[in-house]
């Protein structure tokens, strides 16, 4: 998994998104059990604050992972043709394919985290 060419990266980005989502939803419920923020504070509550920071950390982390994959793609000596018939050519294209696909999936996961977290900026929790 340490290599950006590992196929596991195809699933990691959105697995992080899914885990983030569960903890976002669960965290909101637990936060509301611990202490319901005072009325009239709108989105400016400790719950929103914690969840916004959490969202930013995960979102930025995913976008950094995408950048890591992009650099890995650039590091490849040459972009072999997808229909290469020799073993080396096939292996190189597989690496290119997996790293670039993973990069796009990391970006999509990062955008999904930020998008789903946007309501934290405007809505009051626990009501």
The widest CA-to-CA distance across the chain, in whole angstroms, is 67
What single string gives the DSSP state of each residue in 50-111?
A: HHHHHHHHHHHHHHHHHHHHHHHHHHSS----TT--SHHHHHHHHHHHHHHHHHHHHHHHHH
- Work out how close the CB of 77 gets to another protein at its nearest, in angstroms, rounded to a whole number: 17
Please give the residues from 98 up to 127 whose contact with another protein meets the rule CB under 8 A. 98, 100-101, 104-105, 108-109, 112, 115-120, 123-127
| Interface residues toward another protein, by CB under 8 A | 7, 10-11, 14-15, 17-18, 21, 24-26, 28-30, 32-33, 82-85, 87, 90-91, 93-94, 97-98, 100-101, 104-105, 108-109, 112, 115-120, 123-127
């Amino acid at each position: 998994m340490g290599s950006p060419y590992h196929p596991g990266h195809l699933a990691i980005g959105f697995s992080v998104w899914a885990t983030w989502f569960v903890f976002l939803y669960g965290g909101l419920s637990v936060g509301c059990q611990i202490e319901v923020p005072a009325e009239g504070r709108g989105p400016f509550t400790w719950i929103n604050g914690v969840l916004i920071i959490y969202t930013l950390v995960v979102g930025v982390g995913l976008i950094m992972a995408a950048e890591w994959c992009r650099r890995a793609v650039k590091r490849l000596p040459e972009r072999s043709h997808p229909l290469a018939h020799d073993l080396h050519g096939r292996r190189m294209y597989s690496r290119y394919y997996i790293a670039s696909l993973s990069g796009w999936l990391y970006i999509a996961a990062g955008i999904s985290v930020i998008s789903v977290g946007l309501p934290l900026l405007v809505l009051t929790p626990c009501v």
